[in-house]
Structure 1
């Protein structure tokens, strides 16, 4: 969630209470996917949306899960649950990545601010690790574009705000690293390869004279590293590529009585779809969170039991090495929960926690206060849609979902375009464009197809409907919000994870390719339905 001004990280915690109050005041009843079947069982995935690279811990009776955020801000989302099935967003570890933050220079910050044609699509915040130690939460992540690995810390209860942000001194990019506090008080990063690097107790620098070595060869694609300790064994999990065939991920476990080895290994999951296992440190290590690459919707989290076989953490019922479709919940929980969807933009100065901006927002160019109950996106110049500032996004959901908005186009000036997108590198949108004083409804796909008709009313309703099985999006407009007319061509949501490493999103946008930046677009609400 964001406040309508530029944050400093020292001040971020001061608004946490206000943010939580704003969230608590909301009560939306949008239909969204749920994993909880209501009879003590759950279905996979636990969330049918893009929450990848799951790092899950348990603190008291509450589970917390950190996920990658790549180019979206605020970054490094953290969710909470009482049962590993029903999840809500409860924090972000940082609001933006910008000049002066832990040595980040202007050249790199320009990319996060979409300045000079630069961007950080497919880069940014990769594969976080979330841990809790002696009353403090630690969230680490690596950024390939910055060449750094960061630690974010928060002391006290989990919530919005109050995080510090520090580049770990003495180490560059640590691929898919997992933070590990050993029982003797020493702390390490375990990262791709497989390497172990000892850190100082505050996790802010490499420990001089500490362990810093490769402990075994996990191969060139040693992704999703996780480490835990049970019954005297160190277990390191990772996702290599399965050999002797088509590209496919499997999950392996390595174990040793000593952190530095020697290690033995076995395959703990091989079902052709699911990978990057995080065995949950809940005192028993009997559950695992992982994810599946699922096309346009992104990488979706799943939950599986862990069956211990000869001191190996085998994934699946009775050690089947497969993820069940339906299984018994780990705990009763406290009702159906999910990240928010709908927004009527009545929280002045804030957006709700389900929203993330595409790259760093320009906080001078958006407001929910100038026209209470509306999100006003003010206009900045951009050469194209992907470089436009202040595109406001939230995840599509599977198996199919729709998002729609009410848009007031009264103040859209020549050269300006505003609307709703199925947002990704292969995007499509429906919007209103002012062509030299004539406003037109436009449906455009990045492949080059465009359909345009004259706009007949300044108040227009726009809808995007996505089908995650067919990998398609369709675009609609209405002048009354009830009867909808399809416009333009169907978008083929062409997804390859290495393009952006994230799934498609609904996105509200406004920018101009002209010289007049005095205009703005007003959004009355965003509504959502999953089916």
Structure 2
């Protein structure tokens, strides 16, 4: 369902000339930000965060010359995104560890699957996949995660190389829920999970069950707030990291390291990071252990990853420049060069039968209710009956990005039936949206905030453009519409993007949706494209026109590639 676009072809002289013309045309357009925020400053240094978007609970390893990062995804599917990088700064999505959580999978019964399918008023917001662990051993990737709502811990495995699809999903038998667990392959061939505050559980070599007679005990008391467990071994020491709440003062997370010459202790401890909202450290498993990925709680945008050097002081891994316990604003890159890269944003919905890797559904999709093939070049969201947006199936999302970003769609509302509403949302528990609603045969443009405010006007053209601007500094989202994609009109009230991490644990997202509160489920909404800008573009048309022009050229190049690939 979610794939990357890969092209292999011979290139003739004519093809090279055609591509050169396209590139030259792109270079003559006015400069603007069409891609996401980038951390790479282009001079051998980077700025934090490394991605200004919600990629939390980072687990980072190195295999060969490539770094891989696994992140939690809570209720969103496909779940557990895997990103790759050559330098720890520029990241691209390269896989997901599972497509959905549903009946027929190891450890999943119907009662729990109903919540993942939004059946009977159930949902898994704030639950789902928590704080995963990524490891590589003997040619195989291991992604483990726990789920509080399922009361279980799972391991997803995939033989190298890393790519989309091909993961095996299995409940770890005999374990139950293991809080923020980290998988650990010891040098003697034994394998363990470190979890809670702090427990060690020995597993069988395939990591699918608890080892009978193996180590299974609490090795030290890390307290009830012992989150984000990580374990590695260096210079004869076992190191366990976690992020407890700082004592004596306002609420704040810090990072501690525990170390011992023996896995089962005794352990000594030290604070290695004390820096405001920065916490949950993963020291990169690359053999040197000189870099750390962590995240910052950053309001509406969510929990954003940062990169910091590790300084070893008396065999303690101190975070920050010279081990100062702080995350630097800028610093030299771990590896020079490699080019600017980031997860995808724009989508023209030309892919047949799947959506691109930046998208995740809010819960398991109903695959009978969406298609990108019935109207080629358009995403069609068909209609299901529900009570509100939070319980609507097939809401398709991607992350808002900071410090500001804008997302807009071209939508055909011709086939929106009575009781149906479709559009674009700033999606979270306290959501807002702009869309088209059919009120007993009269179609209206509607801007609605879940806090209770609504503004509506009559729709005058079924082909309508809808836009959400998100400002992560002010925590404000604004909503716009257009009939030509160039000049925009703000509609309704700005949304205060309130974020309380214990409510959903994830940041706001751009979301395409369609549902009905009526009885006619024959309608549908068609989306021609989703476009992204790393600026809040407002009512002005200049950025939009330039962005559309560039994307038209990008689409022309894409179509050219599609056509030429068929002849090679």
Deviations 1:11-57 (A, max 9, x none): xxxxxxxx3446899x9993210000000000000000000000000
Which runs of structure 2 are paired with 1:75-154 in the superposition (5 Å)?
75-154=79-158
Question: Distance in 1 between the 2:6 and 2:189 partners?
Answer: 39
Question: Distance in 2 between the 1:23 and 1:468 partners?
Answer: 36
TM-score (norm 2): 0.89
Structure-2 residue corresponding to 1:45: 49
Structure-1 residue corresponding to 2:454: 450
Q: Of residues 394, 400, 403 in structure 1, which corresponds to 2:398?
A: 394
Q: Of residues 279, 282, 297 in structure 2, which corresponds to 1:278?
A: 282
Which runs of structure 2 are paired with 1:376-415 in the superposition (5 Å)?
376-415=380-419
Deviations 1:246-299 (A, max 9, x none): 110000000000000000000000011200000011111000000000000000
Structure-2 residue corresponding to 1:73: 77
Residue 272 of structure 1 aligns to a residue whose secondary structure is: coil
Q: Of residues 447, 462, 466 in structure 1, which corresponds to 2:466?
A: 462
Structure-2 residue corresponding to 1:326: 330
Question: Distance in 1 between the 2:337 and 2:170 partners?
Answer: 35
Structure-2 residue corresponding to 1:437: 441
Question: Distance in 1 between the 2:336 and 2:293 partners?
Answer: 18
Q: Which has the higher strand share?
A: 1
Residue 106 of structure 2 aligns to a residue whose secondary structure is: helix
Q: Tell me whether 1:262 sits opposite 2:266 in the alignment.
A: yes
Structure-1 residue corresponding to 2:176: 172
Report deviation, 1:103.
2.9
Structure-2 residue corresponding to 1:242: 246
Q: Tell me whether 1:341 sits opposite 2:349 in the alignment.
A: no
Question: Distance in 2 between the 1:73 and 1:51 partners?
Answer: 14
Residue 448 of structure 1 aligns to a residue whose secondary structure is: coil
Q: Of residues 249, 253, 259 in structure 1, which corresponds to 2:257?
A: 253
Question: Distance in 2 between the 1:449 and 1:225 partners?
Answer: 42
Which runs of structure 2 are paired with 1:515-526 in the superposition (5 Å)?
515-526=519-530
Question: Distance in 1 between the 2:298 and 2:527 partners?
Answer: 31
Question: Distance in 1 between the 2:151 and 2:214 partners?
Answer: 22
Residue 498 of structure 1 aligns to a residue whose secondary structure is: helix
Question: Distance in 2 between the 1:156 and 1:384 partners?
Answer: 42
TM-score (norm 1): 0.96
Q: Tell me whether 1:493 sits opposite 2:497 in the alignment.
A: yes
**Contact 1:53/1:127, CA 8 A, preserved across alignment:** yes
Structure 2: stretches of 5+ with no match in the other structure: 10-22, 27-32, 536-568
Q: Of residues 353, 357, 362 in structure 2, which corresponds to 1:358?
A: 362
Residue 220 of structure 1 aligns to a residue whose secondary structure is: coil
Q: Of residues 472, 476, 481 in structure 1, which corresponds to 2:476?
A: 472
Question: Distance in 2 between the 1:457 and 1:253 partners?
Answer: 60
Question: Distance in 1 between the 2:470 and 2:150 partners?
Answer: 34
Question: Distance in 1 between the 2:181 and 2:294 partners?
Answer: 16
**Contact 1:22/1:347, CA 8 A, preserved across alignment:** no
Question: Distance in 2 between the 1:322 and 1:513 partners?
Answer: 50
Structure-1 residue corresponding to 2:566: none
**Contact 2:44/2:337, CA 8 A, preserved across alignment:** no
Question: Distance in 2 between the 1:51 and 1:273 partners?
Answer: 15
Q: How many residues matched? A: 514
Report deviation, 1:333.
4.3
**Contact 2:4/2:356, CA 8 A, preserved across alignment:** no
Question: Distance in 2 between the 1:236 and 1:384 partners?
Answer: 44
Q: Tell me whether 1:222 sits opposite 2:230 in the alignment.
A: no
Deviations 1:181-210 (A, max 9, x none): 000000000001100000000000000000
Select the structure of larger CA radius of gyration.
2
Deviations 1:315-341 (A, max 9, x none): 000010000000000002421010000
**Contact 2:230/2:282, CA 8 A, preserved across alignment:** yes
Structure-1 residue corresponding to 2:542: none
Deviations 1:446-500 (A, max 9, x none): 0000000000000000000000010010000000000000000000000000110
Structure-1 residue corresponding to 2:544: none
**Contact 1:67/1:78, CA 8 A, preserved across alignment:** yes
Q: Tell me whether 1:156 sits opposite 2:149 in the alignment.
A: no
**Contact 1:44/1:324, CA 8 A, preserved across alignment:** yes
Q: Tell me whether 1:187 sits opposite 2:191 in the alignment.
A: yes
Residue 364 of structure 1 aligns to a residue whose secondary structure is: helix
Q: Tell me whether 1:211 sits opposite 2:215 in the alignment.
A: yes
Structure-1 residue corresponding to 2:62: 58
Residue 502 of structure 2 aligns to a residue whose secondary structure is: helix
CA RMSD of aligned residues (A): 1.3
Which runs of structure 2 are paired with 1:194-205 in the superposition (5 Å)?
194-205=198-209
